[in-house]
A = this chain, B = another copy of it.
Amino acid sequence: MDTPSSFGSLSGPRLRRMANAIRALSVDAINKIQTGHPGLPLGAADVATVLFTQHLKFDPVHPDWADRDRFVLSAGHGSMLLYALGYLCGYEAMTLDDIKSFRRLGSKAAGHPELDLAIGVEATTGPLGQGLAMAVGMALSERMLRSRFGADLVDHHTYALVGDGCLMEGISYEAAALAGHLGLDRLIVLFDDNGISIDGPTSLATSENQQARFEACGWHWQAVDGHDPQALSDAIDAAKRADRPSIVACRTTIGLGLPNKAGTSAAHGQPPSMEEAAAARLAYEWPDAPFEVPVDILADWRESGRRGGADHTRWRQRLARADDTTRAAFQAWQSDDLPEGWRDAIKACKRRFSEARPTEPTRQSSKTVMSALIPAIPNLIGGSADLTPSNLSRPDGITPVSRDNFAGRYIHFGIREHAMAAVTNGIALHKGFLPFCATFLCFSDYCRPAIRLSALMEQKVLYILTHDTITQGPDGPTHQPVEHFITLRATPNLLFLRPADAIEVAECWELALETQDRPVALILTREAVPPVREGFTTDNLCRRGAYEFAPASSGAARVTLLATGSEVAVALGARAILEENGVPTRVVSMPCLEIFDQQDEAFRRSILAPDTLRVSIEAATTAGWEKYVGPDGVIIGLRGFGAAGMPDELMDHFGLTPEAVATVIEDKLAQTRA
Residues on A lying within 8 angstroms of B by beta carbon are 33, 35-36, 76-77, 103-107, 110-112, 114, 124-128, 164-165, 168-174, 177-178, 180-181, 197-200, 202, 204-213, 215-218, 269, 384, 386-390, 400, 402, 412-419, 442-443, 445-446, 448-449, 452-453, 455-456, 473-479, 482-483, 486-487, 489-493, 610, 621, 623-624, 626-627, 630-631, 638-641, 643-646, 649-650, 653
Determine the chain B residues whose CB is within 8 A of the CB of A181 once the complex forms.
Answer: 205-208
Q: Copies per complex? A: 2
User: Complex Cα distance A157/B302, Å?
Assistant: 62
Asked if A415 and B645 make an inter-chain contact with CB atoms under 8 angstroms apart, the answer reads no
Knowing A36-B474, A213-B217, A623-B490 are in contact, say whether A169-B174 is a contact too (CB < 8 A).
yes
Q: Report yes or no: B415 in contact with A128, Cβ–Cβ below 8 A.
A: yes
Give the docked Cα–Cα distance between A77 and B474 (Å): 11
In the complex, what residues of B have CB within 8 A of residue A631's CB? 610, 630-631
Name A412's contact: one of B125, B205, B218 (CB within 8 Å).
B205
Known: A169-B415, A487-B483. A198 touches B456 (CB 8 A): no
- Nearest-CB residue, chain B, relative to A181: B207
How far is B487's CA from A486's CA once the two chains are assembled, in angstroms?
Answer: 7
Of B104, B112, B128, B400, the residue contacting A204 (CB under 8 A) is B400
Looking across the interface, which residue of chain B has its beta carbon closest to that of A211?
B216
Q: Is the CB of B479 within 8 A of A414?
A: no
State in angstroms the CA–CA spacing of A200 and B486 once bound together: 34
**CB pair A112 B415 closer than 8 Å:** no
Q: Shortest beta-carbon distance, A168 to chain B, in Å?
A: 4
Q: How many Å lie between the Cα of A645 and that of B217 in the bound state? A: 40
10 residue pairs of the A-B complex, CB under 8 angstroms, read: A107-B644, A168-B415, A169-B446, A170-B416, A180-B207, A181-B206, A197-B415, A204-B400, A207-B218, A446-B449
Q: Is the CB of A387 within 8 A of B215?
A: no
Could you tell me if B208 and A645 are in contact, using CB atoms closer than 8 angstroms?
A: no
Q: Are A623 and B489 in contact (CB under 8 A)?
A: yes
Expressed in whole angstroms, the Cα–Cα distance for A35 and B624 within the complex equals: 33
Least Cβ–Cβ distance between A321 and chain B, in angstroms: 38
Measured between C-beta atoms, what is the minimum distance from A668 to chain B in Å? 16
The answer to whether B478 and A112 touch across the interface, beta carbons within 8 angstroms, is yes
Chain B residues, Cβ within 8 Å of A206: 177-178, 181, 414
**Other-chain contact of A213, B169, B216, B445 (Cβ < 8 Å):** B216
Complex Cα spacing A168 to B125, Å: 24
**Whole-angstrom CA separation of A138 from B384 in the bound complex:** 32
Bound complex: CA A638 to CA B414 (Å)? 36
For A455, list chain B residues within 8 Å (CB).
Answer: 641
Query: Which chain B residues border A400 with CB–CB below 8 Å?
Result: 204
A639 to B218, CA, bound (A): 44
CB < 8 Å neighbour of A169 from B170, B180, B482, B492:
B170
A492 near B446 (CB under 8 angstroms)? no
Q: A418 to chain B: which residues have CB within 8 Å?
A: 170
Judge whether A476 and B388 touch: CB under 8 Å. Answer: no
| B415–A164 touching, CB < 8 Å | yes
How far in angstroms is the closest Cβ of chain B from A470?
Answer: 10
Once the chains bind, are A103 and B644 in contact (CB under 8 Å)?
yes
| Chain B residues closer than 8 Å to A483, beta-carbon distance | 452, 487, 490-492
Asked if B627 and A626 make an inter-chain contact with CB atoms under 8 angstroms apart, the answer reads yes
List 7 tightest A-B contacts by C-beta distance, closest first: A170-B170, A105-B645, A205-B414, A212-B216, A111-B476, A126-B478, A111-B644
Minimum Cβ distance to chain B for residue A664 (Å): 18
Contacts of A486 in B (CB 8 A): 486-487, 490, 623-624
Residues of B contacting A215 with CB < 8 Å?
209, 212
- A416 proximity list for chain B (CB < 8 A): 168-170, 205
**How far does the Cβ of A31 sit from chain B's closest Cβ, in whole Å?**
14
Specify the chain B residue showing the minimal Cβ separation from A175.
B170
Closest B residue by C-beta to A198: B386
Give the complex CA separation of A190 and B256 in angstroms: 45
Residues of B within 8 A of A205 (CB): 178, 181, 386, 412-416
| CA–CA, A316 and B566, complex, Å | 55
Closest residue of chain B to A177 (Cβ to Cβ) is: B208
Residues B217 and A209 in contact, CB atoms below 8 Å apart: yes
Q: Name which residue of chain B comes closest to A269, CB basis.
A: B390
**Contact yes or no, B169 A388, CB < 8 A:** no
A599 to B309, CA, bound (A): 68
Flag if B626 contacts A112 (CB, 8 Å): no
CA distance A422 to B125 in the complex (A): 25
- The complex places the Cα of A134 from the Cα of B478 at a distance, in Å, of 15
The chain B residue sitting closest to A212, CB to CB, is B216
Inside 8 A of A402's CB, which chain B residues have their CB? 204
